[in-house]
Structure 1
Amino acid sequence: MAEHQLIEDPAARTPPGWGTVAVRIGLIYLAARVVTTAFLLIAAELSGFESRFGPDAGLLDLVLGWDARWYWIVAEVGYPSDLPLTETGAIAENQWAFMPVFAHLAELVALPFGQWAMGALLVSLIAGYGASVVLYYLLRDRIGNTAAMWAVVFFACGPLAALFQVGYAESLGLLWLFLALWCVRRRQYGWLYLLIPLMAFTRPGVLAFALFLGLFGIWRWFTRRREELRPAEVVHIVALGLLAAAAGFAWQLIAGWVTGDNGAYLATELAWRRNWIPGEAQFFPLEGFVSATAFWFGTVWGLPVELGYVLLATSVLAIAAALMFLPQVKRLGVEVRLWSASYLLYLLLVFFPQSSIFRLLVPLSPLWGAFAVPRSTPWRVGVLLACLAGQWWWIYNMYALGNTIWQIP
């Protein structure tokens, strides 16, 4: 069967209307948010003197926790023209690591409430619901109605589902991403000229989308006999790939122009690495994973560093094999598989793996469809329970405790 042909279960032959889907997903999403709210309230109650949030933490304190506070600073005062320095003269953590779209959209939504945290909460909640609906449509034609709805359940209740209720840009970034992937799947490229800049100025990672478009274009060329490749589509894919690449470097150029330091953005990002490895870090592709492997295996765990390198290489090969050969993943379609491969390669090249790795994996959420494909009810319920257990573990560590370097979301 050709890759672009759709694979459906019998239920997909008469798909429900948009209104029915919106209501069903709305009920699922609402139930999931009630559970997450309960987890956050418990975490606030458990927060003590050693926690980042203190013994009197409330829900809005958690909404403003960690990176959310940086987005709030962006909304309040903008970006520094003079980069702050540490006592040793190194560039300190500052707002340039955080893109402006979420911060200012939350500021706009907050106008009736007079409190940025309320705007951030509403943007995250609404964007998370929108992302859930788009995820359903992204997967439905490939795996059918029932499996796509289960994928939404896993997504809404997943280990990182608290991101739908805090002042992080992930919900909004996922909405743009899922819409972009859906447009590519539908071959409706026009909307991407708007979505790609929105992605670029909401969350880092649009360079991975540029790589995805490049790989997708190559795949379309080699499969042009199975699905006609029109000249207009070639033009769109090339132009959008160039736009994504340009947008991926635009923020670095803007930071350099405002501050007068061409390395301002990169130095700002590397400032966070000093929380784990003191001193001035140097960036080059793969350096983050190489350095982190030595740090975690050698310094923290006291294990042979060589073992870490072997496990890293083995993991890369295993993930590549899963994306290429696992039937459950293949059913999701080439767009999801190429995006997942592109994003994982992007992380491998630029990221320093630490406790934020869980949050950085959220853009791989379309892969929840692979967990939803098996039609066994016990399996699906088991995955859901694992999601909820993982969600509580993450909230407890990052919000109830949040007092060590491996408890930073």
Structure 2
Amino acid sequence: MDFGNKYYSRGYEREVTPDVSILDETPSAYTGRVISYPNKTVETRGFIGEKIVMQCNVFNMPRDARIIWRRESFQGGHIAEVINDGLMSRDMSRWKIGQGKQQDSVRLEILSLDETYEGLYTCECQYTGSVEPARIQRVLRVFEKSNTDPVDSNFAIKRVMVDMVKESLMRPCLVLQPRTKPVIVTHRSSYDTDANVNDNVVLQCAAEGIPTPYIYWQRTGGQSSIIRNYGTLKSGNEIRFDAVQADDAGEYVCFAENSMGQALWRVQLRVRHPPMVRIYPFEPSQLVNCNLRLVCTISANPPVLEPAVFWTSNRTGSITADTPRTRIQYLNAGLMRHSVLDLLPVTSADFGQMLTCSATNSLGESSSSVVIQQSPTEVRLVNGRHACNRGTKWTMINMKLLLPVIFIALDRLVFYSHV
């Protein structure tokens, strides 16, 4: 079933909004020519003749969504135009479109900048069911850079510096520094973290490098590769969990990347929680006089010990492994434990019976129940094996093979007696 851009957890439906961001490759943020204003407007300042590269990244991108680049010109009455169709440029003489470094990203490249490229650039994630697409914008300004007069060759740079001073947004501009690979700043990054269920948790990652590293997170261990509401990849230096849950537990890896290389930092998130109990199959049924296997799966932290797991029946009370028709096995799989109940075999008296698996740890107790139903045919066990006795009765087969031989021998004996 296609859930579109909806996220389902514990029976609740929550809308998930795509997160759109722009990675400035050329010029990059460390040059001082990508300027963020207090009103959240971001302006990129380029020089005539240089190459401009912007990468639009969409995190938690819905299925069947598409990434569109648009431009609204500042010249001639604010003319708007669509730049791309998927990974195809609508005007290859002006725009170069390609796949970005991330899975859901589109790279926009201007090979040689001039005044006609100046305008408001918008990257949109368009998807079914959205009233307004998720979007992010960049203002591109174009400045002239003289190559003849050495005194005036830095005119555009000086203009950038003056503007930033006026706006109290002074940043270093074109400082010549050696380029370095990203390095994780460990004292500002999270180590392995333990939390109780419903706690608020923040995982942080800090990195340094030149150019400034691009930081993002991926989940590499746990019940899923999804990071809560963010999808399979979360940009930024931190992940926030409001009321952390058991299924948030796992390993999270922070990646810091720039043009010189990559660094990573692993954080293990452990969540203490009461038992969560499930019985497989959910709706057990079997043919009479065939075996039935029920597997009770228990996820808990701290884990549930064998004496704290027990089976009960609504008809006979506690179920033990001491009866000839019952077998119980306890399997240890770390924080996941399994209790396997075998009924050998199922009788007509078992149909309609409710069986309950209960488990307890220091944080609480939980249980799950199923009702045994009768099936007109054999239902294989959860491990795929046959549930009914299919052993070959060799005695009957041997007798059937021997009877013709006996009859032939008797006929010959009668024939020879008459001779």
Higher helix proportion, which one? 1
Higher strand proportion, which one? 2
- With normalisation by structure 1, the TM-score equals 0.16
- With normalisation by structure 2, the TM-score equals 0.16
Greater RCO structure (CA 8 Å; 6+ sep): 1
Rg larger for: 2
